[in-house]
A and B are shown apart, each in its own frame.
Chain A
Amino acid sequence: EVQLVDSGGGLVQPGGSLRLSCAASGFAFSISWMHWIRQAPGKGLEWVAHINPDGSRRYYVDSIKGRFAVSRDNAKNSLHLEMNSLRADDTAVYYCTGDGGVYWGQGTLVTVSS
């Protein structure tokens, strides 16, 4: 059974940092493109970042460039999103997804507020 388990969300003050993680199992993680997608409360979906199978190519939406970094550990079947200089408009549920959106985690809520 395919599983993506998102973790690491929480309440953080503006300017703070968080590290999100995604534990993958049940599919060929090491050869899959992996992605982070977010959804602000009551809003639609936004593609945030993605990383190629060997981690050599990473792409970010403009609003997070220079603040967030996506990484992966294929030996541990894990995906990460390092989030720095967080702003109120980063508040959202963050989903880990794989293979063009075939697989989804349950999401982890990040709330940026003082």
Chain B
Amino acid sequence: DVVLTQSPLSLPVTLGQPASISCRSTQSLVYGDGNTFLSWFQQRPGQSPRRLINKVSNRDSGVPDRFSGSGSGTDFTLKISRVEAEDVGVYYCMQHTHWPHTFGGGTKVEIK
């Protein structure tokens, strides 16, 4: 199975400051058709997850533009340009290039 390793596990951030989360895969996530099926999800406390980014860098509808995704192959990054209070929660990367689809272990973003 593909293992996704996220770092850091915990990310204390000052309001208005940037944040960055890394996701590294044990295998290339490039599919045969050239697409890379790597997504990012946000889970606020007590809520269902919400997809933020699909195919590495495409923001889903309604997602603020302070969220951005980048990367290729096996290394990916989620960036928040200026953290707001509503961004507190756990962030997960997820791959659906290979079966079984797998999630990273999560990164908890909190306000300092």
Q: Which residues of A contact B (CB under 8 A)?
A: 37, 44-47, 50, 59, 61-62, 95, 100-102, 104-107
Contact = CB atoms under 8 A, between A and B. Distances in A.
Interface stretch (B12-20, B73-81, B98-106): B98-106
A47 B102 contact: yes
A107 B41 CA distance: 16
Interface residues of B, number: 22
Contacts, number: 48
A38 to B, nearest CB: 11
In this complex, which of B39, B54, B100, B103 has the most chain A Cβ atoms within 10 angstroms of its Cβ? B100
Nearest to A46: B103
Interface of B: 37, 39, 41, 43, 48-51, 54, 60, 90, 92, 94, 96, 99-106
A44 B105 CA distance: 6
B110 to A, nearest CB: 16
